[in-house]
Structure 1
Amino acid sequence: MDRLTESRAQWDKDEENISEISENVSGEYFRYKGIPFPVGIYSPESISIAENADVEDDDIFIITYPKSGTNWMIEILSLILRDGDPSWTRSVPIWRRAPWCETILSAFSLSDLSSPRLMSSHLPIQLFTKAFFNSKAKVIYMSRNPRDVVVSLYHYSKIAGQLKDPGTPDQFLQNFLQGEVQFGSWFDHIKGWIRMQGKENFLFITYEELQQDLHGSVQRICQFLGRPLDSEALSSVVVHSAFNAMKANAMSNFTLLPPSLLDQRRGAFLRKGVCGDWKNHFTVAQSEAFDRVYREQMRGLPTFPWDVAPEDSSPDSDPSPSPGQASEPPNP
């Protein structure tokens, strides 16, 4: 079977699987060991499979809390693993390049992943694949200012068929601070994974660091993976993983998904790609409420870039409405 025929066959299978999943999403959640998961995309069985799967020593895992730059990191690693060649990112959907560990269509069930396997996960550390912790496999944990995560997750919840309606901005913020959103508490998630700091197979990096110095961040990732790139390949990774490049790439912008899973008529999946946008959304009261919980939850932890670094808070050309303000649905 030639590569084109094989690609078409795989895409036909993907379309069939996506159609089946889209029929089962309900906007309802179930709990697995106390953590909320959306029905239809995940199941208790699929999470258990991820917990107990085998791991290869050359596996590379991208781990994030939702809306923390997962797809940006997938794009970067897709390019690094191909020495800067963008052909893979332009021909294979992003969810096939780095499939999810805990979904019903689990990465661990796919037999055609090339080595090294690139896989994604939102799982908190206590639910992650046990075999990883006794392996040489690598984890890149990417985090982001939780205030920007709240805003991004709020908008995403309006277009994602598997997620509950976010309700009012105030209610959604309270749910987020209480961990009553998919994958539970942001605070518990980062506090769990940050304990891996210092281990040679674990890299902690932030969305803000990539925004501030993408070139230097890509070099750091290459060093961690033991895959140095020459200057031309490195520049190609930077150019082709830029926000506008991803937004224009049908293999990376999720426009291939049906509206029942992701209704981009109501808002773009790749929305802004900036740091500090929360300042255009939070009211003073919301910011104060968030800061109270943040200070309490993060006491004793190291300082993160969003705690000290100035952020790009300038509104872009098409700012989304602030929480609490009436608006028309944003254009894709």
Structure 2
Amino acid sequence: MTTPVPFPYEAQPVSAEFQKRMSAAYPVFDPVGLAPFGPTGYIMPADARPFLEQHYNAPVGPDDVWIVTLPKCGTTWTQEMVWLIKNDCDYESAKCLLSPDRYHFLEICAITATQCREEIRQGQNPVSKRLMFTPLQERPEPRFVKTHLPLHLCPPTLLDTAKVIYVARNPKDMCVSYFNHLKVFEERDPNMSIDEFANLFIAGEVSQLPFFPHVLEAWNQRHNPNMLFLFFEDLKRDLRGCIKKVADFLGKSLTGEQLDGLESHLIFSSMKKNPWVNKSVILAYSPLTAEQLAAKEASSQKTEFMRKGETGDWKKHFSKETSAKMDAWIDRELAGTEIKFVTG
């Protein structure tokens, strides 16, 4: 039996002011609070350390493929592309849930509020239970893994062993998409404005942030032969070219017919209608009564995991002041790097 590698990080201590801001913004995490982990202060529930230690020691095989992204940066899109390329465009076998059937969501337990995690453990929804509690060790090889963790919280041997595909998205669009995502999953104050959220986003005071340390750590590994670094905006601009790039990276050769089929299957409108990837099965589960669910569906709070998938959607949401503040932040963080984001 392999001796576990000690996990080198504890939750960082936080101030009373930080706790107050987090409680107001994300009340669902109140029972344990949110805390920064690791050298970049990656925000997670304060009780996440035991899970992070498990993830740090996750098994990694030479044929495994890991999709590493921040949330709302094209993760699901890339997962479906990669699985189909690796499995020779077997669309029939793809008629099962992307997660948990085909992919392991590494840190789903760690990022879920404690009481929600326990509700799922005690509940009757088999999909949610498999998603949250199936051990990675029980997955057949080769394993397909999705994670939003930064590389330094992933297994230390990851880039020496498996294939890693990292997808980055411009922070303005990610901010808007994540703002909506956290409302769908009821993880933020529903009365929070997008401008208030943008301030928290810039400060890195949102679960699974800060943004730039996550992206730059992967960017600095872009020349590693086991790393493929992609931009969401390139997937939008040249999907076919990105499919070819991913196939080459994975050592797979695609025919023209396969490329045509994949390109059609992976366009956003097709993905949004695909129940095996759009999380409609998981989102359909709710402890609400039938009347409450009907009222929620009739309201503006539509439970859509896949919303627009657009570049430049931020222009419809940010004030001029917030846009300028984000621009200044982006310029400051990217000074001296070669990254250039397309913001639409």
Which of the numbers 79, 100, 118 marks the counterpart of 2:144?
Answer: 118
Asked whether 1:57 is paired with 2:96, we answer no
- Number of the residue aligned with 1:11: none
Q: Aligned pair count? A: 280
- Greater Cα offset, 61-70 or 277-286: 277-286
Q: CA deviation at 1:82?
A: 2.1
Q: 1:304/1:116 Cα in 2 relative to 1: closer, same or farther (>3 Å)?
A: farther
Q: CA deviation at 1:109?
A: 1.8
Q: 1:277/1:289 Cα in 2 relative to 1: closer, same or farther (>3 Å)?
A: same
Question: What is the alpha-carbon distance in structure 2 between the residues aligned to residue 219 and residue 107 of structure 1?
Answer: 34
Asked whether 1:274 is paired with 2:310, we answer yes
Q: Retained in 2: the 8 A contact 1:239–1:245?
A: yes
Q: 1:36/1:165 Cα in 2 relative to 1: closer, same or farther (>3 Å)?
A: farther
Q: Retained in 2: the 8 A contact 1:64–1:143?
A: yes
Per the normalisation by structure 1, the TM-score is: 0.78
- Number of the residue aligned with 2:208: 183
Which of the numbers 306, 315, 319 marks the counterpart of 1:283?
Answer: 319
Asked whether 1:243 is paired with 2:268, we answer yes
Q: Retained in 2: the 8 A contact 1:140–1:203?
A: yes
Q: Retained in 2: the 8 A contact 1:85–1:233?
A: no
Q: Unaligned stretches of 5+ in structure 2?
A: 1-26, 110-130
Secondary structure in 1 aligned to 2:329? helix
- Number of the residue aligned with 1:301: 337
Q: Map of 1:1-332 to 2, 5 A cutoff?
A: 26-28=28-30, 29-31=33-35, 32-33=37-38, 34-38=41-45, 43-104=48-109, 109-133=135-159, 135-163=160-188, 165=190, 167-257=192-282, 258-259=285-286, 265=297, 266-267=301-302, 268-306=304-342, 311=344
What's the Cα RMSD here? 2.4
Q: CA deviation at 1:305?
A: 4.4
Q: CA deviation at 1:55?
A: 1.0
Q: C-alpha deviations, 1:182-231, integer Å up to 9, x for none?
A: 11211111111111011110000011101011111000000001011111
Q: 1:303/1:30 Cα in 2 relative to 1: closer, same or farther (>3 Å)?
A: closer
Q: Retained in 1: the 8 A contact 2:168–2:231?
A: yes
- Greater Cα offset, 98-107 or 272-281: 98-107
Question: What is the alpha-carbon distance in structure 2 between the residues aligned to residue 131 and residue 227 of structure 1?
Answer: 24
Q: CA deviation at 1:44?
A: 2.1
Q: 1:303/1:192 Cα in 2 relative to 1: closer, same or farther (>3 Å)?
A: closer
Q: Retained in 2: the 8 A contact 1:90–1:249?
A: no
Question: What is the alpha-carbon distance in structure 1 between the residues aligned to residue 187 and residue 253 of structure 2?
Answer: 39
Percent identity between matched residues is: 30
Q: CA deviation at 1:260?
A: 5.7
Q: 1:130/1:163 Cα in 2 relative to 1: closer, same or farther (>3 Å)?
A: farther
Q: 1:80/1:253 Cα in 2 relative to 1: closer, same or farther (>3 Å)?
A: same
